[in-house]
Structure 1
Amino acid sequence: MFYVFVQANILPGTTWKCFMRAAVDVHFNPLVSLAHALASKGLLCIRITCKGLNLTDRVKAYHEVWESFLSRKEFTVTKIFLAGKSAGAWAASSMARQLTAGSEQAVQGLVCLSFRLHPVGQTDHCQRSEDLLGLPKELPVLFLSGTADNMCEKNILENVITGLKSPATVQWIEGAGHGLAVEGRFEESVLDEINSRVMSWILERS
């Protein structure tokens, strides 16, 4: 799942939603909850999912949706934050790198939830970190993952971050796995924690 959070001036009465090949991910509770929380703070949220294509095709599809959004006259975009979960964070970081190559001020922040850094049990094989390494020093990045995530080992992520030019913040959800669930905690409590952390980080930069 790939997200765009937008601070924009919107004409009264305007609504705009976009889904690309809706899949199960579009109903994933942590992402739905986060979208609602950010919308309550006045940020327009575009949720896009594109299932079954390779990363290059996904990012191309997301670019087309984004350009379509920008062409609409009822929106005046002032700030852009890209976000994604798991492989969606690959797409978000790839798109952020491409957009900032044209203008370093094109994106104001990148949020990576449960970044899929390596396959389960293959901690010697980092995936898709090249886009992160190519991000400019002006683009802040938030990584939010669980301490029990078997596709994002804590020490490996922290090692990758030392090589970034971008200022990176890492926040850990204690006991959460790749799906951001925590055994022994009510889901609502975990979602509130995730939402609070992400909202605070974005609003500090809005």
Structure 2
Amino acid sequence: MAEPTEKEISVPSPGKAAIPVLLTSPPKGVKHSGFALLLGPGAGGNEKTALLTAVANEVARQGHFCARYRAKVPNLGFRVSVCTRVMEHLFHPTKGVHPQKGCFLGGHSMGTRVAGTVAAQLAVGSTVSEPATVKKAPATKGKKAAAAPAKKAAASTAASVDSNFPTDFIPGLVLFSYPLHTADNTKALRDQILLDIPSTTATLFVSGLKDNMCQPSIFAKVFKEMKSTPREVVQVTDADHGLGFGSSKPAQAKKEALAEAISEWTVAFMDEAIAHIDDASSKKKTAAKKTGASADEVTKKKAELRKEADEWTVAVSTVA
């Protein structure tokens, strides 16, 4: 089979610098699905990160366009505007260079916060911003002066999505290592973005059980409170926030095996969501017949890597 084609492009952004994007297109001869995936990097990463590259290639092989944008400034509002602009330029259903029926969003770490924010905004047609963490102002300046930084910080995280998108344009999210809190403060949760994801938006999480920015017990409570359906989380034993296992040579091979598995999970998740869109009632009946469960179920899975014949394999089991 022919391989996907990857192309470096620049997406124009009125009044601002062009946005560097890597666009991975399906191979020649592969039927296009009509759906795309747009991925954002973590705060310290870029569009060439190994995990995002692996996912993009596998997604494209299966007939979906995949774009990865660059965003060096670690500011949520800025990145929301970048993500929205790229989605509009490339995949808008009537104005895009490659018009699509819908666009899945996702990425790693900060890229997941961007994806969730854009999905929430698009569904309600208004700005949804994350509460800003603000340093306390000196008491000598008075209450009015102390309130000013909060207003400024909150404004910096807010960015609205162009309302000319259909409200159901984002069918699902693929979130790798969602940073629910910082490494040193588990009380300042970034949970509102997840709680704002609409009930009609399917969500896939992949998280390491040794992720110091997403403590499993805290995430479990937020995951339970979310409206998004169906939603699924795959928690990987021994994996860290970068979905890695250390810096040794065996650890690198293990990380590569996990990236391949995550790519396959992403494709399966997208295909199921698309099938549900194409024939919702039939999909529910089929799912119920095969599994005895509702198509809108909440699924928790655990993944473990095992070495067999000098190669790492990934075993996944459903958690009750």
1:8 equivalenced with 2:45 (yes/no): no
Q: Which of 46, 51, 56 does residue 35 from structure 1 map onto?
A: 56
Q: Which has the larger radius of gyration?
A: 2
Distance 1:76 1:52, change over 3 A: closer
Q: Once the 2 structures are TM-superposed, how far is the Cα of residue 8 of structure 1 from its aligned partner?
A: 2.3
Number of the residue aligned with 2:208:
146
Q: Which residue of the partner structure matches residue 65 of structure 2? A: 44
Unaligned runs of 5+ in 1: 11-16
Partner of 2:170: 107
Instruction: State the AA in 1 paired with 2:179.
Output: R
Question: What is the CA deviation profile of residues 76-119 of structure 1, one whole-angstrom value per residue up to 9, with x for unaligned ones?
Answer: 31232111210110101001111122454221101110001111
Comparing 117-126 with 39-48, greater Cα deviation is found at 117-126
CA contact (8 A) 2:39 2:69 kept: yes
SS at match of 2:66: strand
Residues 155-192 of structure 1 show CA distances to partners (whole Å, capped at 9, x for unaligned) of: 11111112211122111122111111135552331212
Instruction: Provide the C-alpha distance between the structure 1 equivalents of 2:259 and 2:267, rounded to a whole number of angstroms.
Output: 12
Q: Structure 1 residue 68: deviation in Å?
A: 1.8
Show the counterpart of 1:13. Answer: none
* Aligned residue type for 2:206: L
Aligned residues between the structures = 196
TM-score between the two structures when normalised by the length of structure 2? 0.55
Higher normalized contact order (CA 8 Å, seq sep 6+, divided by chain length) = 1
Measured in 2, the distance between the counterparts of 1:4 and 1:92 equals 18
- Contact 1:58–1:91, Cα closer than 8 Å, also in 2: yes
CA displacement at 1:37 relative to structure 2:
0.8
TM-score, with length taken from structure 1? 0.83
The corresponding residue for 2:222 is 160
Give aligned-pair identity as a percent.
Answer: 27
Q: Are 1:194 and 2:262 matched, yes or no?
A: yes
Aligned alpha-carbon RMSD (Å)? 3.0
Question: CA separation in 2, counterparts of 1:27 and 1:158?
Answer: 31
Q: Describe the shift of the 1:39–1:150 C-alpha distance in structure 2 as closer, same or farther (beyond 3 A).
A: same
Report the 3-state secondary structure (helix = DSSP H, G, I; strand = E; otherwise coil) of the residue aligned with 1:143. strand
Unaligned runs of 5+ in 2: 1-20, 25-31, 126-165, 275-320
The answer to whether the 8 A contact 2:210-2:241 is kept is yes
Give me the whole-angstrom Cα distance separating, in 2, the residues matched to 1:135 and 1:18. Answer: 17
Partner-residue secondary structure (3-state), 2:194: helix
Q: Give, in whole Å, the separation in 2 of the partners of 1:181 and 1:51.
A: 22
| Alpha-carbon distance in 1 for matches of 2:122, 2:174 | 15
Residues 135-164 of structure 1: CA distance to partner in whole angstroms, max 9, x if unpaired? 211111111111111111111111111221
